[in-house]
Amino acid sequence: MTLKYKIFLLAILIAAFLCILCGVEAQNHSLLSFDAQIASVFSTLHSPSLDNFALAVTKIGNPYQTFLIFLVLGIFFIAKRKKYYFYVFAIATGLGIALVEMMKVTIERVRPAMHLLLEAGYSFPSGHATISAIYLLSALILVAPLVQNRFSKIAWILLSVIIFPLVALSRIYLSVHFASDVLAGIILGSACFLFATTVTFHHHSYRE
């Protein structure tokens, strides 16, 4: 992917995020309707077993588990002598966490009134969704090519494309975030990853 294409794609992601942000700030009717419709759909899916499953899945995005995953993947990149892969992963993760925390206290969007999980802090954007997007892209673009065994690679890809999206969706299911919070988090996480790959790999000309 050329530098120009990366910058173009990054601009699209930033524009999409800003559109959602402006909609949240202005309490746009279409955005609020979108959130309400998605919440209504998820409310029809509730059952004790799914509730327990969602509560278990969402813990993967909690700080302790997130740090553990970061540590494991970081050690993997270093062991594979892919230090620039680690730089991308670290920059994307650090930037994502910093931007989420900054925007939460700036936007101050209150979480949905009814929820199955008690969460402190503000709602926009979803930190779980942001980190899930970063970790999913890292798993597919950075980790998967380094896995030599074909079966292990397929298993890793399948696990990643199932688990990380479920973490993001669990936030809507548990009603601790609006759908727009999660969508914005996914876009923000994708933008952070793309930014990290651009500044790191382009600067080093894709060489170790």
pLDDT in tens, 128-165: 999 999 999 999 999 999 998 999 999 999 999 999 99
Contacts of 199-206 with CB under 8 Å at 24 or more apart are 199/91, 200/84, 200/87, 200/88, 200/91, 201/84, 201/88, 202/3, 202/6, 204/84
Rounded to whole angstroms, how far apart are CA atoms 196 and 96?
A: 10
Instruction: List the structure tokens of 154.
Output: 């397929």
- pLDDT given for residue 3 in this prediction: 75
Q: Which of 50, 65, 61, 32 is nearest to 174 (CA)?
A: 50
Cβ contact 88:96 at 8 Å: no
Q: Three-class SS of residue 96?
A: helix
Residues in the chain: 208
Rounded to whole angstroms, how far apart are CA atoms 201 and 208?
A: 9
Cβ contact 77:178 at 8 Å: no
What are the boundaries of each domain within the chain?
3-201
pLDDT by residue (tens digit) across 11-26?
999 999 999 999 999 9
- pLDDT given for residue 139 in this prediction: 95
- pLDDT given for residue 207 in this prediction: 46
The pTM for the full model equals 0.91
Residue type at 14?
Answer: I
Separation in Å, CA 90 to CA 54, 85, 138, 168: 27, 9, 10, 20
Q: Which of 145, 131, 147 is nearest to 90 (CA)?
A: 131
Instruction: List the structure tokens of 81.
Output: 């002598």
Cβ contact 173:117 at 8 Å: no
- pLDDT given for residue 208 in this prediction: 44
- pLDDT given for residue 199 in this prediction: 84
- pLDDT given for residue 203 in this prediction: 58
Instruction: List the structure tokens of 140.
Output: 């597919």
How many CA atoms lie less than 13 Å away from 198 in the CB half-sphere? 16
Q: Which residues of the chain have pLDDT under 70?
A: 1, 115, 202-208
